[in-house]
Structures are given as C-alpha cells and as structure tokens.
Structure 1
Amino acid sequence: MTTSSPHFTPSDALADVAVLMPAYNGQADVERTLASFAENARVRVVIVDDGSTPPIVAPNVPNMDIEIVRVPQNGGIERALQAGIEALAERGYRYAARIDAGDLAAPGRLAKQRAYLEAHPNVAGLGMWTQVVSRTGAPLFSLRPATDPASVRRLRFFRTSLVHPAMMLRVDAVRAVGNYRVAYRAAEDLDLFLRLMERYDCANLPELGLYYELNEGGISATKRRRQIVSTLKLQWRYFNACNVYDWLGLAKNLLHLVTPYTALQKIKRTVFASHAT
C-alpha cells in the first residue's frame, strides 16, 4: 500500500480515513455515535459487528458511507479490532480512526488528526484530549495527557497517555507490529501502543476530540480485574528500572487491584477535577 499522499477534492479529503468501530449489540449507541461526526468531507465508517443479536444495521447518516463487517460469533473486542484493521487494509485505507459505540466525536476531529499525521510521518498513533461523561451526558472529568512523543513514552504506565477511542492509527504501522492481539485481554490497546512505540512515535493533539461515555457495564467495569492483570503483565515485560514513572505506574496498578471500582472512580473524578481548575 502506497504511503504517498493522493490529491483529494475538499469534499473527499478524508477518502483514506475510515472510522473503525467494533460493536456488540447496542444499535442505539451505534447510531448516536455515528451521528456525532461533523466533518467538512465525506466520512467512511467500518463497523465490525461482533456477533450481535439482532445484527447491527447501518443507519442512514448524512455525509457518511457505512460498511458492516460481520463476525458470526461474538469473539471479543480484540478479535473484532483485528478483523477491522484487516478489512481497512484490504480496502486501501491508510488511517483508522477509533471510536466506541456510545462515545461522541468532537467536530472536525478526523480532519485535524489526519493533517497532523500527514505532517508527522513517524507518528503511528495520534490521540486527542477527552471529556469523560456519564450515560446522561453530564461531564465528570477531563483526560488531558501529554502531547509530545517523549512524554507519552515516559508516562505510558503512570497515567492514561493515549485514550483508545480517541486515536487515529496508521493501518500499515498497526499491521507491521502484529495488529491487535488477544494475548493481553481487556488491555489490547496498551499492548498495541507499546509495540507501536518500539518502532514509531505516538502523540496527542492538545484539543478536545472525544466525549467518552463512562459506562458501568463496559470493559473497564465488568472486566476490570482482567484488565489490571493484563496491564501489570505488560508493565513487567516493558519495565524500565531507570524510569521513575514505571515504578509509580506499577505501584498505582497494584493499588487499583485492591481498590473497589466505585471508590476508584470517585478518586479519579476528584483528582482530574482538581487538575482541570
């Protein structure tokens, strides 16, 4: 797949970008998420329906082309994302813009991320700042991670350096490092980011790009222990004893392992709210 930049008309400036959204049931959330995209160009979407019953149906959204890749049996988000990346590669897309059903995109997100990646060819993954909201849309706290690649790499275990559903990824780079994997269940995003940062850079745009819905039934809540154990395994594999933030991140995740989920969410809201003021 060529890495040169083709010439696009203004209305087709996102022709090499596809929104990649895995979905398992939740038709209403899928529709609400897709309706949130506001771009000055046509938006392409690939939904990986991970064995939903009934199957996800592509909604009719203005200025948007939607394709559904169906997985006959629910296999989990890791396998759904694997299939999605391969589908994007087969169709010739260069960039995968991640989002999850229930989250909302800030206006112009795709164009901003694509422009940055075009200007920074060694950046394989680009995130944006995120506003965390409740199911009713009430703001809870903001995630404003470091922006430059060196800081993202240094802080990767200490704080949320890259918000997965706010990321735009180079499809060829994701495939070059082995795509998403099932080796670290519920932490497939961190596993991918760490492998990307062995060869490339990852960064963040210091702008709001996503409204992230804190869903008490989501992976972070229902598979929390599995996620923490997978994260600890990744920390052990990539641990750098010379980086104080690796030590602090290890201590933080060990604390998460023994802290009740509801108490942890209260602490996060307090800490991030104080940082935002």
Structure 2
Amino acid sequence: MDGVNSVAGAPMPLVSVLVPAYNHEAYVERCLDSVLEEPYPSKEIVIIDDGSTDATGQRIADWIARHGDEVPVEYVRRGNKGIAATLNELAARARGDFLRLGASDDYLLPGGLHAQVDYLMTHPGKWAAIGDTEVVDRHGCRLHESGMRDLHHADKGLYRTDDGIRRAVITQWAIGGPVTLVRRRALETVAGWTEGLRFDDWDFFLRLAAHDAIGFIDRNVCAYRIHGANVSRTRDARARIHNLVEARDVAIRRLGMFDEPYRTLLLAQSHYLGAKVAFLQRCLWSVTMHMSAYGALKLVARLRRGQSQRLAAQA
C-alpha cells in the first residue's frame, strides 16, 4: 500500500489532507500549521489555490519554503474553477487511501485525524468518518464548544445510528466545516463532487448516506472559523431562489438512491424547499400546497419507519 508507515507495529495508511484555498491570506498558514501539529504520522498535503485574488498563493509558497521538508506537499496554483472542481482535482492528485477534506480558513485539532483513521480502520463497512467542530472567530478565539449543537442546533444523538444519520442528512443538515475523512474508493462509488452545484456538499453526503456509509465520532476534529466572508447571507431574492431551487433539484435527483421511508422523507424535504421558494416568490397558494405536501409526506415517512422497525423486531 502506497505511503503506509508503521506505528507500534501497526500499519498506518497514508492520509492526504486536501486543501482547496481561495482568498484566505489571513488564515491559510494556520490551516497548514495544523497539519504539522496533528500527531498522525503518515500524511501529505495536497493544496490548490483556486484563483485567489489576494496574497493566499504567496502565503502558501512561503509556508512550503519553511516547512516543505517536514511533510510531503503538492501545490498547484491556477485559475478559479469552483469548489467542486477543485475537490475533484485534489482527490485525483492525492496518493493516500484516506482523504481528509480541509478548508483554507479552518484548521485541524490535534488527535482528530488519528481518531478518524482509527474509526475507519475498525469499521470497514464505513466509507467516511465525520466529527464535530469547535467554532472560533477570525482571531482563533473560541465562540462555541460544539458547532453541531451550538451553531446548527442539531441532535447529535441522531448521528449514532445509520437510521439517524440518514434522517439527519436529509432533514437537519449540520455537517459544517472540514470534518470528513473519506476512503478513496468511496469516491469511485459516489462519483466525487458534482461540479456546478452550490450545494455540492449536501449532494455528496446524500449519496454517502444512501449507502449507510457515514460514521460519526463525537469529538471535535477541527476548528471552524467564522469571519466576515463566510457568514454573510445574500439578500438578493433571485439568488436565494436560485440556491433553494438547486437544493430542491438535488433532493429530487437523489430520490432513487434511497429506499423507504427515507425516499418519502427526502421527497417531503423537496416540498419544504419548494415552500421556501414560493414564499420568496410571494405565491402564498403555492406555499400552502407545498407545506401541506410536506406535512403529509413527513407523516407517511414516520408511519413507514415505525412499520419497518416493527418488522425488524419480529424478524
């Protein structure tokens, strides 16, 4: 296996830390420092500057000049192609069997990567391991202990079972920040990230969840940084409508990947998104129609889930 080290006699697979970088001159060096600080020994960094217009590219080059002999680094600087295309290119360039998804404005927390590798090594049926985040401000000062609980108000208990993860990914999107370690072979099955989508992350996790391929470890594996560039929400109604329509289309496109009751639950979610679109378009009758369908389908999904659980208990 390419890049396997040995720690205490146990083989340690090579992990490629993938960093898509864009206009994060103030933060990218902290991101790269955190990879060095992570005690997991068998790792490399693959980083692409996706057409930054600030000094991000030079900050990366300066960091490599200082630390390039401490960890293998592949660095590409090119024009802007967007996050999904950049992630696909990063994965194609990586040598590791495990891929750690990063972000140039966030940073890893020591021990998190090792814990995720341990999880996947002991759960061969899982393709990806996710964790929680510590939320920090632009200076690195802690704002929230748990991004899932305090920022997204998620029920972390849902993430302890395959059923719960499926329901959470469909209805309660709370996987924020670079918290994912994924097996390379998973990308061959789910076909990587869909280029051209703004909701490429939800689309990606829906495809993983459909295979019951996501595992969760209840610990902070990275710091998610809140700063001006990533907290602003568009006030342009047309842009918001476009984003919601795209998310609704993603839900409809992935219906066929799920069995019941999750297919019905995802269909319900598509109507919920449709209601938001209708509200922004001031079509109140359409809001009523979509919300009625949403409520009815949620009830059907709940009843079907209960029936499935009873049948499983009798088997």
Q: TM-score range by the shorter chain?
A: 0.7 to 0.9
Question: How does 1:112-151 map onto structure 2 within 5 Å?
Answer: 112-136=115-139, 137-140=141-144, 142-144=147-149, 145=156, 146-151=159-164
Tell me how far 1:231 sits from its aligned partner: 1.9
Distance 1:213 1:256 in 2: 28
Distance 1:219 1:76 in 2: 19
Question: Which of the residues 171, 185, 189 maps onto 1:176?
Answer: 189
Amino acid in the other structure paired with 1:142: G
Contact 1:24 1:50 survives alignment (8 Å)? yes
Tell me how far 1:12 sits from its aligned partner: 10
Q: State the Cα deviation string for residues 12-45 of structure 1 (Å, max 9, x = none).
A: 9755101111012323311011223432233421
Q: State the Cα deviation string for residues 206-240 of structure 1 (Å, max 9, x = none).
A: 11112212234238745973543322212223347
Contact 1:11 1:40 survives alignment (8 Å)? no
3-state SS of the aligned residue for 2:214?
strand
Q: State the Cα deviation string for residues 69-108 of structure 1 (Å, max 9, x = none).
A: 23x21011111111001111xx3x1111112112122220
Q: Provide the residue aligned with 2:172 in structure 1.
A: 159
Distance 2:9 2:106 in 1: 25
Q: Provide the residue aligned with 2:287 in structure 1.
A: none
Question: How does 1:40-79 map onto structure 2 within 5 Å?
Answer: 40-42=39-41, 43-53=43-53, 55-56=57-58, 57-58=60-61, 59=63, 60-61=66-67, 63-70=70-77, 72-79=78-85
Distance 2:254 2:118 in 1: 31
Q: Provide the residue aligned with 1:83 in structure 2.
A: 89
| Distance change >3 Å, CA 7–CA 103, structure 1 → 2 | closer
Distance 1:230 1:204 in 2: 27
3-state SS of the aligned residue for 1:156?
helix
Distance 2:12 2:23 in 1: 28
User: How many residues are treated as equivalent by the alignment?
Assistant: 252
Paired-residue identity, %: 25
| Distance change >3 Å, CA 82–CA 69, structure 1 → 2 | same
Tell me how far 1:167 sits from its aligned partner: 0.4
Unaligned stretches of 5+ in structure 2?
150-155, 281-315
Tell me how far 1:131 sits from its aligned partner: 2.7
3-state SS of the aligned residue for 1:36?
helix
Q: Provide the residue aligned with 2:105 in structure 1.
A: 102
3-state SS of the aligned residue for 2:172?
coil
Contact 2:99 2:181 survives alignment (8 Å)? yes
Q: Provide the residue aligned with 1:202 in structure 2.
A: 214
Q: State the Cα deviation string for residues 161-205 of structure 1 (Å, max 9, x = none).
A: 53351100111211332121215x111112122223344511211
TM normalised by structure 2 equals 0.68
Q: Provide the residue aligned with 2:202 in structure 1.
A: 190
3-state SS of the aligned residue for 1:162?
coil
Unaligned stretches of 5+ in structure 1?
260-277
Contact 2:50 2:82 survives alignment (8 Å)? yes
Distance 2:11 2:33 in 1: 19
Distance 1:66 1:12 in 2: 24
3-state SS of the aligned residue for 1:121?
coil
Larger mean Cα displacement after TM superposition, 193-202 or 126-135 = 193-202
